[in-house]
Amino acid sequence: MPLPRYGVAIGTFHDFGRDPRHEYGEWYHGHLVMGFPTGLWEAALDVDSPSGVGVAYRLVPGLDGTVLGALRALPDGFHPLSPDPGSGALDYQRSPFLQDPPWLPPLRLLVRRAAEFLLHPPPGAPVCGPNLADRLAALLAHLRRDIHPWVASDGDNALDVLEPRLRSASRLYVFGQSFADGPGVHDVHLNQGDPVGSQWWDTDGAWQDGAVLCERADGRLTAWQIRFNTQRLPTDDQGHPR
């Protein structure tokens, strides 16, 4: 079943810390403390594990604040969100503003076909020479890279890129699941795509992913995403790997 307490914590920056680097438990966390009208809330951010599962992070900067829709008008506090796009929930695969530009796939296809033609022209076709083909092949290799790539996390590097954005933010939006007991939020990461037989398989679902969105005073946003290396996208409507 989907996460039962999924939602978004909206507030201001209060404090930030990290687990002792060599004295943490199953997961290495960053600890974000947010100010709410009712007091302080903690967000536990998973960024590494001694078990060797492996974690990756991704930054999507320069987002227009309007991508948050009605969430921007909500007061500070924790707000439950239903697992559907109309609620303001996040989905790494389905939220349009978390995707690389839509023009990138057709551009990749166009360059690939041009490179293939120049490298292997049909009989009788003019040969343009290796230089242009080589340049197109190099361009294609560059285009294969994601504009906002996933980066292997060693724990601290994922937090190093996040921390200055937290401290300079005018408002924070932390998507995840509220603690069962106490003021806080966790599961601030991809919550779908887990392998068959894993302990998280039954909690996979679409439109329930966690992330931190940092809003600047000018209204621009940066999204910070986390996923485990065992998780796979794309997923089906139940959030299971296809």
Q: Are residues 162 and 77 in the same domain?
A: yes
Q: Are residues 69 and 170 in the same domain?
A: yes
Residue 18: which pLDDT band, with cuts at 50, 70 and 90?
Answer: very high
Is 195 in contact with 182 (CB distance < 8 Å)? Answer: no
pLDDT at 50 exceeding the cut of 90 = no
pLDDT in tens, 67-98: 999 999 999 999 999 999 999 999 999 999 99
The counts of H helices and E strands in the chain are 3, 10
Q: How many CB atoms lie within 10 A of CB 93?
A: 16
Residue 145: which pLDDT band, with cuts at 50, 70 and 90?
Answer: low
pLDDT in tens, 54-64: 999 999 999 99
Spatial distance between the Cα atoms of 196 and 36, rounded to a whole number of angstroms: 38
pLDDT in tens, 157-195: 999 999 999 999 999 999 999 999 989 999 999 999 999
Among 143, 169, 199, residue at a domain's last position:
143
Please give the single-letter amino acid code of residue 23. Answer: E
Q: Are residues 128 and 155 in the same domain?
A: no
Spatial distance between the Cα atoms of 100 and 225, rounded to a whole number of angstroms: 14
In a domain, 192, yes or no: yes
Is 177 in contact with 210 (CB distance < 8 Å)? Answer: yes
Which residues, in sequence order, are CB contacts of 69 under 8 Å at separation 6+?
Answer: 88
Tokens standing for residue 11: 């507030």
pLDDT at 109 exceeding the cut of 90 = no
In a domain, 234, yes or no: no
Q: Are residues 174 and 219 in the same domain?
A: yes
pLDDT score of 140: 60
Which residues, in sequence order, are CB contacts of 49 under 8 Å at separation 6+?
Answer: 26, 27, 28, 55
CA angle 223/95/200 to nearest 5° reads: 85
Spatial distance between the Cα atoms of 207 and 91, rounded to a whole number of angstroms: 5
pLDDT at 126 exceeding the cut of 80 = no
Instruction: Give the 3-state secondary structure of residue 158.
Output: helix
In a domain, 236, yes or no: no
Q: CA nearest 190: which of 202, 179, 205, 178?
A: 205
Q: Are residues 87 and 109 in the same domain?
A: no
Spatial distance between the Cα atoms of 2 and 114, rounded to a whole number of angstroms: 45
In a domain, 233, yes or no: no
Average pLDDT, the chain: 88
Q: Between 208 and 50, where is the model more confident?
A: 208
pLDDT score of 231: 96
In a domain, 241, yes or no: no
Number of domains in the chain: 2
pLDDT score of 142: 57
% of residues, the chain, pLDDT over 90: 70
Q: Are residues 14 and 121 in the same domain?
A: no
Q: Are residues 177 and 91 in the same domain?
A: yes
Torsion sign across C-alpha atoms 145, 148, 150, 152: positive
**In Å, what is the CA distance from 67 to each residue of 50, 88, 113, 219, 234?**
36, 9, 35, 11, 22
Instruction: Please give the model's pTM, rounded to 2 decimal places.
Output: 0.84
pLDDT at 23 exceeding the cut of 60 = no
Among 113, 143, 173, residue at a domain's last position:
143
pLDDT score of 22: 58
Q: Are residues 44 and 127 in the same domain?
A: no
Least confident residue range of 8-17, 26-35, 143-152, 163-172: 143-152
Q: Are residues 92 and 28 in the same domain?
A: yes
Is 150 in contact with 227 (CB distance < 8 Å)? Answer: yes
Q: Are residues 201 and 181 in the same domain?
A: yes
Asked, as a colleague might, if the bond just before 102 is cis with ω within 30 of 0, I would say no
Residue 27: which pLDDT band, with cuts at 50, 70 and 90?
Answer: confident
Provide the residue range defining the domain that includes 114. Answer: 104-143
Q: Are residues 83 and 134 in the same domain?
A: no
pLDDT in tens, 204-236: 999 999 999 999 999 999 999 999 999 999 999
Among 143, 170, 205, residue at a domain's last position:
143
pLDDT score of 148: 85
pLDDT score of 129: 55
Spatial distance between the Cα atoms of 53 and 20, rounded to a whole number of angstroms: 19
Q: Are residues 196 and 95 in the same domain?
A: yes
Residue 49: which pLDDT band, with cuts at 50, 70 and 90?
Answer: confident
Instruction: Give the 3-state secondary structure of residue 157.
Output: helix
